[in-house]
Structure 1
């Protein structure tokens, strides 16, 4: 064990004391965070418009700060992106994180000098929690790779602008820089496929011990590594590779294929970063729940998903949430986002400490007939049956077929790219349909009431989703395929890839 690994264990034990305080006192920390945020932003344009001087309690806060999405906040954000100071947060943003919205086009998310360190601290603490719990620290003595967006920055009104992962690349601690790959030059390659090929060339003979990124794009990296090495497993290319860190999507649909590529069931750490703030990370290998970061400059609110589209939905603070209920996540941040609907849905798996799992997107659902099927349900239905049947799922998405040309009842249409296809597709689809009925009683009622026919699975050609994302200009980086949609924009494009 090298010096870095020894020191990291000592550091992990020290940091764990702070994390224990978070585990034990999250509700109190959230109250303090709300008060601090309001106090710091009182003199901003937003604070003046929303009478921050009159906010003393959470009830006051709810009365003065409405829930908004990006479009609702856009008048303030536009002022900020044109260089006006003190709009949403004191001063000007340190960065603007550029993201692609499905309804808003390009979005610019402010990152302040106060919020940027919290992104780095959370990522660091996720690794230190792993070291403290498992005692495994050897990975810090080898190479680590972070598959991410380009660190090349542009400017907007004098504010450095780029993708979140590219911004974060400028803040990697010095003690990790020598271990970190890819090199800056290769990281700056904008075309994702060229970048992956260059990363393969740079890393295939390195002592890679930690790999991090969004699972489907890591899979692409693994596939190309294996091809270069004549079909070898990743464990044979990188014999000291022991830790995979991921975020952005549910890992379960990708787990079996990634573990098959690696050659064993590797330790994993799930993280929950967003341009708007680093929200949670997995702090234990014994628990898939993610520890909510209640002391990182974000005040959270939670709206029950079945009320979200009401005129006056319930808004709950951390101390009011319940276990196993789906909530839309609302953020108030030390970068100036107020009552901001992130679009994600979560549920709590533990209240002591407060741990969550991400269950989907508030706008990614199917309810063409009142069923309100969500991402968590379709993922469970497909992957539970795939596991039983020994089927390998590469990627999938689901959409309603409201007007079938075959003159039958409407149905849910599943577009699935298989690594290993079912022996009997009809039987497989029937089992997935039964699993979905068990998860969603409204869907079950529509099937048994002959309003819908059972779902239909469309098997897609190899690399269909990669080709689709390439056609949309969204290959790689932080881009993800929505698991389900209430319209057929994605489905109609995927029809061309059906086998």
Structure 2
């Protein structure tokens, strides 16, 4: 055992105690964050426009600062991109995290000197909490890979610009530099398929202990290893015992991953985004991720089924309930104010506050008033394929409003690694699970407004080919679980 792994345990204990202090005082912690943010941004253009000097309470804030998405905040962001200082936050940001927007083209999310540390520390703390809980620190002596975007940055009026994962790559602690893969040259390869091939070559001879990334793209890496070696990933990397992931729900991939690896491995779920690092899994046997209440982010929540009403109620952490689907709104030390990040979350615990990501407020199916969300279709797939040999590589769901015959229905486009003998039987299980979860859908089926869902098989590699065709293969990009129209599925077909 190395000095590094020995020292990791007391360091993990110290971080654990620090986290418990704010996790056990959530309302007070959030109030301090709120007051600090308002005081710090009072002299900015945004602060003056919204009379921050008169804001003392959350009620004051709600009166003066409306909920905005990127499009609505864009006039302020464009000033920052043009090089204007003190617009959304003090001075200029350190970085712009460039992301792909569906309606606004490229989005430029500011990352400031104050917000950058939370992106790094939260990821580090997730691993340290795992060490504290399990006592396992041996993996710090092995090699670690983080499948991420290119670390190459450009400059925009004095501010560096890049993908979030590429920006964070510059902040890997010195004590982990020797453990880190891939090499800089490989990480800078732009073409995703070429990059993954190079990563396979670099990692095969190494003692890999941690592998991290979005499940859909790690799956591609695992498949290439298996093709290259003819072995299970767990046999190639005998000391690989920790998978760290974020971006999508792991459950639909779990069975396939365990098959590719050849055994079960521990996993840690993260909830990072360009707008902030919001949560991480702090317990192996607890559902949900610990919401980061002490990371320079003030949270508000709006019930998802009320979100599109006029002036929906905005509540703070002390008023949330278990099992309710909320749209998460943030204000942060990156200069985002009343900002709708587009995600819906659900609390699984309030002592401490843990969340799961239930979907996207724009990613739903309600063509007939059914209000089906991502969490429901993922749970249906997990339930329908449990205790079977069926393995699903990827899937998405869309409404079929004008079928050639019969009633409308939900069409599930599924790419199987191991398909069922009885496709119609799987469709029945999926439909039954969805009816059980969603009373609106149940009523539409029973009322013969909809017919039960149908499955359309997607050829192997179909989803990857689609992502490649739209220039979004790899990195942080992912397939929406469901859509309220057929734009995506028509291209996949």
Q: Same fold (TM over 0.5)?
A: yes
- After superposition, what is the alpha-carbon deviation per residue over 1:77-125, rounded to whole angstroms, capped at 9, x for unaligned? 0000000000000000100000001121110000000100111110000
TM-score (normalizing by structure 2): 0.99
Query: Secondary structure, in 3 states, of the residue corresponding to 1:368?
Result: coil
Match of 1:132 in 2: 132
- Tell me the CA shift for residue 235 of structure 1: 1.2
Mapped partners of 1:286, 1:444: distance in 2: 32
SS in 1 for 2:200: helix
For 1:51, the equivalent position in structure 2 comes to 51
1:342-361 to 2 correspondences below 5 Å = 342-361=341-360
The structural deviation recorded for 1:27 is 1.4
Q: Distance in 2 between matches of 1:388 and 1:446?
A: 29
**1:143-158 matched pairs, under 5 angstroms:** 143-158=143-158
* Matched residue, 2:84: 84
Report what 1:189 is aligned to. Answer: 189
Q: Residue 377 of structure 2 aligns with which residue?
A: 378
The answer to whether structure 1 residue 216 and structure 2 residue 189 are counterparts is no
Task: Give me the whole-angstrom Cα distance separating, in 1, the residues matched to 2:158 and 2:394.
Answer: 40
Match status 1:450 vs 2:434: no
SS of structure 2 residue aligned to 1:408: coil
Determine if the alignment matches structure 1 residue 204 to structure 2 residue 208: no
Report the CA distance between 1:22 and its aligned residue: 2.3
Report Cα offsets for 1:419-465 as digits up to 9, x if no partner: 11111111111111111100101001111111111101001111110
1:388 is displaced (CA, Å) by 3.8
Partners of 1:428 and 1:393 lie apart in 2 by 12
Distance in 2 (alpha carbons) for counterparts of 1:73 and 1:367: 27
Does residue 470 of the first structure (1) align with residue 471 of the second (2)? Answer: no
- Structure 1 counterpart SS, 2:294: coil
Counterparts of 1:28 and 1:357, CA distance in 2: 23
**For the residues of structure 1 that align with 2:14 and 2:382, how far apart are their CA atoms?**
39
TM-score normalised by L of structure 1: 0.98
Q: Matches of 1:154 and 1:60 in 2, distance apart?
A: 39
Matched positions, count:
493
Please report how far the alpha carbon of residue 227 of structure 1 lies from its aligned counterpart in structure 2 after TM superposition: 1.3
8 Å Cα contact 1:148/1:166 also seen in 2 = yes
C-alpha separation between the residues in 2 aligned to 1:331 and 1:424?
Answer: 46
Spell out structure 1 runs of 4+ moving beyond 3 A. Answer: none
Contact 1:22 1:293 survives alignment (8 Å):
no
The residue correspondences of 1:190-339 to structure 2 (distance < 5 A) are 190-229=190-229, 231-339=230-338
| Distance in 1 separating the partners of 2:123 and 2:373 | 28
State the distance in 2 between where 1:281 and 1:415 align.
30
Q: Secondary structure at the match of 2:472?
A: coil
Residue 287 of structure 2 contacts residue 348 of structure 2 at CA under 8 Å; is this kept in 1? no
Aligned to 1:9: 9
Q: Secondary structure at the match of 1:389?
A: coil
Q: Is residue 449 of structure 2 the alignment partner of residue 440 of structure 1?
A: no
Q: Residue in 2 aligned with 1:104?
A: 104
Contact persistence 1:282–1:290 (CA under 8 A): yes
Find the partner of 1:480 among 455, 473, 478: 478
What is aligned with 2:457? 459
Is the contact made by 2:304 and 2:325 (CA closer than 8 Å) also made in structure 1?
A: yes
Partner of residue 419, structure 2: 421
2:386 aligns to what SS in structure 1?
Answer: helix
Cα distance in 2 for partners of 1:378, 1:199 equals: 33
Distance 2:43 2:431 in 1: 55
CA RMSD of aligned residues (A): 0.7
Alignment equivalent of 2:428, drawn from 427, 430, 449 = 430
1:10 shift after superposition: 1.1
Matches within 5 A, 1:362-373: 362-373=361-372
Please give the alpha-carbon distance, in whole angstroms, between the structure 1 residues aligned to 2:492 and 2:167.
33
Distance (Å, rounded) in 2 between the aligned partners of 1:11 and 1:175 = 13
Structure 2: gaps (5+ residues): none
Matched, 1:179 2:160: no
In 1, the alpha carbon distance for the partners of 2:244 and 2:388 equals 28
Q: CA deviation at 1:288?
A: 2.5
Q: Secondary structure at the match of 2:420?
A: coil
Residue 389 (structure 1) shift = 3.4
Native 8 Å contact 1:402 1:411 kept in 2: yes
